[in-house]
Amino acid sequence: MKKVIATLVASLFATAAFAQTPAAPAAPVPAKAEAAHTKAVAKAEAKETKAVVKADAKEAAVVADAKADVASAKADAKVSKAKAHHKASKAKVKADATKAAEAVPAAPAPAPAK
């Protein structure tokens, strides 16, 4: 009889240990927020690529027209590329800031100090 009771108690503890549900993640990022962030970054990269291609095409067209304007065209293209890179990096930073701002409200507020 003692063995049967010991077996039942042991099985009770064993099943209780394995019946635990896994802890929920602390603050999961919503899928929509992640998708919006990815979309914003992709859009910024696409704009940058388009601006760079446009600047390269402009440079190529000017080089074909006259060699005298090559230096000026290269300078203009360099400025256009720099502007495109700057705009793209600003858009990426803005997208990251938006993502961070959405993640911050999900954190619990700290308790006031006594």
Structure tokens belonging to residue 77: 């293209």
Q: Which domain holds residue 71?
A: 29-103
Are 95 and 42 within 8 A, CB to CB?
Answer: no
pLDDT of residue 86: 85
Residue 56 placed within a domain:
yes
Structure tokens belonging to residue 52: 């760079």
Residue 6 placed within a domain:
no
pLDDT of residue 17: 66
Phi (first) and psi of residue 41, to 5 degrees: -65, -45
Instruction: Tell me what the pLDDT averaged over the chain comes to.
Output: 76
Residue 109 placed within a domain:
no
Q: What is the mean pLDDT of residues 25-41?
A: 73
> How many Å is the maximal CA-CA distance in the chain?
106
Are 96 and 37 within 8 A, CB to CB?
Answer: yes
pLDDT of residue 103: 66
Structurally, the chain folds into a number of domains equal to: 1
CA 63 → CA 38, 57, 70, 74, distances in Å?
37, 10, 5, 9
Residue 62 placed within a domain:
yes
Over 70: is that where the pLDDT of 99 sits? yes
Residue whose pair of structure tokens reads 């400025």 in the numeric block = 79
Residue 58 placed within a domain:
yes
pLDDT one-digit tens code per residue, 51-69: 888 888 887 776 666 665 6
Residue 80 placed within a domain:
yes
Are 81 and 55 within 8 A, CB to CB?
Answer: yes
Q: What is the pTM of this model?
A: 0.36
Residue 95 placed within a domain:
yes
Residue 84 placed within a domain:
yes
